[in-house]
């Protein structure tokens, strides 16, 4: 009798219960809404054809305005006033997401401040890591190893826009024209 061997299967994408078990109260409130220094970070997530992705998850982690990185355990427990550094949210039917957070300060002198971001979406067998840099830091020529390795067009995919209210807007494009620069780990 011939021995059967099985071919390895390809990685699987997340299924129809994407939200189940990852939601928690106040998850998009990295800073308490409208508290001193609180700003909104919002944007959209698009697929390779430019269509909005209605059920992506975005996670962010960043420093506070003074560059301090929260190290306390329990970032899922929102106290209604503190800055947790971590947040998670889902996109709506139009691919929109938003967080209440603060503009991060630089964690290392001479390096531009940024917000670390992760994108999860259907069709992706792995999460995508990237960064969101403050527009004023990039415009001032502040750089780090990542930014200095990129063309101006690539830097633009990692640079947020300031709104009239001082808030941040940033879109993620998973493929195609103006594809966001994603990091390999």
Q: Is 14 inside any structural domain? A: no
> What residues contact 38, with CB distance under 8 A and at least 6 apart?
31, 32, 100, 101, 102
- 3 located within any domain: no
179 token code pair: 């594809």
Query: For residue 120, is it within any domain?
Result: yes
By residue range, what is the domain housing residue 91?
Answer: 38-173
Assigned domain for 182 exists: no
Average pLDDT over residues 19-40: 87
Model pLDDT, residue 95 = 97
3-class SS at 136? helix
Give percent of the chain above pLDDT 90.
66
Q: What is the mean pLDDT of residues 179-185?
A: 93
2 within domain boundaries: no
Q: List 132's β-bridge partners, or say none.
A: 115
Find the mean pLDDT for residues 143-155.
Answer: 96
Q: How many domains does the chain have?
A: 1
Q: Strand runs (DSSP E) across 14-125, as ranges?
A: 38-46, 57-62, 86-90, 96-102, 114-120
Average pLDDT of the chain, as a whole number: 88
Q: Is residue 165 part of a domain?
A: yes
Q: What is the mean pLDDT of residues 119-135?
A: 91
Whether residue 91 lies inside any domain: the answer is yes
Bigger pLDDT: 20 or 57?
A: 57
Global pTM reads 0.87
Q: Which two tokens stand for residue 88?
A: 């998670």
CATH number assigned to the domain comprising residue 156: 2.60.130.10
Q: Is residue 22 in some structural domain?
A: no
b/e burial code for range 134-160 (CB count within 10 A of at least 16 → b): bbebbeeebbbebbeeeeeebbebbbb
DSSP code at position 182: -
């Amino acid at each position: 009798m011939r021995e059967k061997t099985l071919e390895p299967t390809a990685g699987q994408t997340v299924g129809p219960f994407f939200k189940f078990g990852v939601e928690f109260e106040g998850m998009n409130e990295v800073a308490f809404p409208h508290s001193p220094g609180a700003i909104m970070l919002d944007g959209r997530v698009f697929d390779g054809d430019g269509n909005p992705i209605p059920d992506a998850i975005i996670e962010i982690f960043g420093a506070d305005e003074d560059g301090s990185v929260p190290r306390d355990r329990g970032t899922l427990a929102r106290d209604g006033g503190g800055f947790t550094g971590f947040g998670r949210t889902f996109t709506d039917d139009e691919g929109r997401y938003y967080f209440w957070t603060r503009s991060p300060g630089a964690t290392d002198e001479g390096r531009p401040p940024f917000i670390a971001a992760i994108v999860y979406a259907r069709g992706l067998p792995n999460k995508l890591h990237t960064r969101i840099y403050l527009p004023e830091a990039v415009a001032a020529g502040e750089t780090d190893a990542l930014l200095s390795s990129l063309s101006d067009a690539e830097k633009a995919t990692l640079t947020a826009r300031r709104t009239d209210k001082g808030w941040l807007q940033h879109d993620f494009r998973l493929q195609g024209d103006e594809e966001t620069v994603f990091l390999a780990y």
